[in-house]
Structure 1
Amino acid sequence: MNHPAPPVLRTVTGDLPAGSVTGPALAHEHLVLDLDHKGDGAAVLDPHRHTAAVTTELTALREEFGLGLVVELTCRGMGRDVRALARIAQEARIAVVAATGWYYEPFHTPEIDGSSVEELTDTLVREIEGGIGATGVRPGVLGEIGSHGDTPTAPEAKVLRASARAALATGLSVATHAQLGRGGIAQLELLTGEGLPAHRVSIGHQDLLDDPAVHEELASSGAYVAFDTVGKDGYQSDGTRLRLLLALIEAGHADRVLLSCDISRHGYLLDEGGQGYGHLFRSFLPEVRAAGVDDELIDLMTRRNPLRFLTGGHVEEIRA
């Protein structure tokens, strides 16, 4: 009798059986980043100045909470540096998955305007199959594929369609950036319209959208609903996030939830007085537990769900 091969994660240091990740994951983070369009250097995680602090935080989270995996969604045009990611992964002894794709339109790179959906798809597939530049590091996810507003712009729609086609061609999943939580349903319609199954899609930043009906619609479709800006109180209070999360759990959709902090500027790091990557574990999850959510559901949302999202695996393949 032939048994299916166990699901595998493609990480910056090589392939890893998904079942070997026994601790929680951060499903949407940035470890190296440059989104500095204002010239103030705030939206930056510099590979030379900040990686020591990043590595120290991740190491502490591995030791204290068993953190096993970071899904790093810095893609083309966002200051991606996979060599730095590999160094962080090795030093912190945590698996890191790198991404490819394009962010939302203000950060699009020049090739998007002059390329067709087919040409953009080919660009992504080449990177997924052949590695990023000369590094040999292959992306393990498409993300964070961006749009802003209730409907993607024409260039954003082109990128979403290309991402769906590349995902189908390579077996990867797609994580999106829905600016301030808006436009997730339109994103999902574009992605699934290209034939990508909903369970290979994570709709980003839904904790910034105070609309439980949208969350339930996304989850009911089979897509993952990312509450991935936990701790960013300037955008949304954690109290609101908790209410929205509990509503989704009570509706029976804990198996569609992804959780993370989306650290996207150096001021969020612990050594600069920010909430850090550990805010999810140190502050938010204790509140979730106090609201009556048990450890099995916590493990589902923080470990099994991100593993199944990345691999397309089913519940029975990645057990508690």
Structure 2
Amino acid sequence: MSTPHASGPLVRTVAGPLSCAAVPGPVLAHEHLVLDLDLKGDGAAVLDVPHHEEPVTRELAGLREHFGLSLVVELTCRGMGRDARALARIAERTGVAVVAATGWYYEPFHTPELEGASIGQLTDTLLAEVRDGLDGTDVRPGVLGEVGSHGDTPSDPEARSLRAAARAALESDLSVATHAQLGRGGLAQLDLLTGEGLPPQRVCVGHQDLLDEPGVHRELARSGAYVAFDTVGKESYQSDETRLRLLLELLEAGHADRALLSCDISRHGYLRTEGGQGYGHLFRSFLPRLRAEGVDEDLIDLMTRRNPLRFLTGASTEEI
């Protein structure tokens, strides 16, 4: 993996600090490489080490070779089956830098520690991971996420976890990526996070490609927050045709500098080895459609490389 340069904005990866200047190719801004979201007991929402680490590794290595994939923001956090050791192995074997995360997903996946805990106590838990490492390792998170809520207004425990993430982000100079279930509640999430003093440019509101409300996307972007079109290829939730329309509307409104793109692979059935769209669907299918609509390479580089690096580091447009 590239050695960090001596100066300039740094991304905190599982292998340590990495200069943004050492990230020459695209970034997947919201993915999962190892996770367990199996609430139904059918094993579908799982990417586990024994069965899936090898195909995940092969996919990423292939994307590095064919599309120059340089970094993956891996948003599996507490209660989602995170495995920092596996992330470090995958990064080392593929040559693709990986950013690990901490925080709490939305309420159905909350861990018992949230029950009755104050915002301060939750903040301390997150800062301990930032300081000491994840899952008994010295791997430190480079982002708070995907901090979740569902519905138009976060529940009480979701609000506490969002506020704790904001406070931890401020103290550690990290950013916050959210999970807005089916795209809803993003403005309420942003209000909570910025209400704790977190600048909007350190916030990425997730899954906005599942919400067919261009006005909300524009409002988020005008605030300075990043707007994630991060479930590209998940046709059972939303068609890529609709995603394309919504993204083009955001670009036409002048907010290309706020858009982030990714595929959010969260089931083993999405892997290429199992007939799914894979982590590369963005590069193989969606970006060619954007190009066909007249989106040029500079804008594509902005959305797939510079924007995610700016989000992670808080750097200005001039710095990256």
TM-score after normalising by structure 2:
0.98
**Aligned counterpart in structure 2 of residue 287 of structure 1, from 286, 289, 300:** 289
**Deviations for 1:1-50, whole angstroms, at most 9, x for unmatched residues?**
xxx95110111111111111000000000000000011000000001110
**Aligned counterpart in structure 2 of residue 163 of structure 1, from 158, 165, 188:** 165
Return the offset for 1:114: 2.4
> 1:298 — aligned with what?
300
Whole-angstrom CA distance in 2 between matches of 1:52 and 1:123: 32
Return the offset for 1:83: 0.2
Question: Could you tell me which amino acid in structure 2 is paired with residue 111 of structure 1?
Answer: E
Return 5+ residue gaps in structure 1 as ranges: none
Return the offset for 1:271: 0.3
> 1:138 — aligned with what?
140
Q: Name the count of aligned residue pairs.
A: 315
Return 5+ residue gaps in structure 2 as ranges: 1-5
> 2:115 — aligned with what?
113
SS of 2:236 mapped into structure 1: coil
> 1:86 — aligned with what?
88
CA contact (8 A) 2:84 2:139 kept: yes
Return the offset for 1:134: 2.2
Return the offset for 1:129: 1.3
Question: Could you tell me which amino acid in structure 2 is paired with residue 72 of structure 1?
Answer: E
Question: Could you tell me which amino acid in structure 2 is paired with residue 211 of structure 1?
Answer: E
> 1:74 — aligned with what?
76
> 2:31 — aligned with what?
29
Query: Identity across aligned pairs (percent)?
Result: 74
Tell whether 2:219 aligns with 1:217. yes
CA contact (8 A) 2:10 2:17 kept: yes
Q: Report the RMSD for the aligned CA atoms in angstroms.
A: 0.8
Matches within 5 A, 1:199-278: 199-278=201-280
> 2:9 — aligned with what?
7
**Deviations for 1:199-253, whole angstroms, at most 9, x for unmatched residues?**
0000000000000000000000000000000000000000000000000000000
Whole-angstrom CA distance in 1 between matches of 2:49 and 2:11: 24
Runs of 4+ in structure 1 off by over 4 angstroms are: none
Tell whether 2:188 aligns with 1:186. yes
Question: Could you tell me which amino acid in structure 2 is paired with residue 228 of structure 1?
Answer: D
SS of 2:30 mapped into structure 1: strand
Whole-angstrom CA distance in 2 between matches of 1:58 and 1:5: 28
SS of 1:79 mapped into structure 2: coil
Whole-angstrom CA distance in 1 between matches of 2:247 and 2:46: 29
Return the offset for 1:164: 0.3
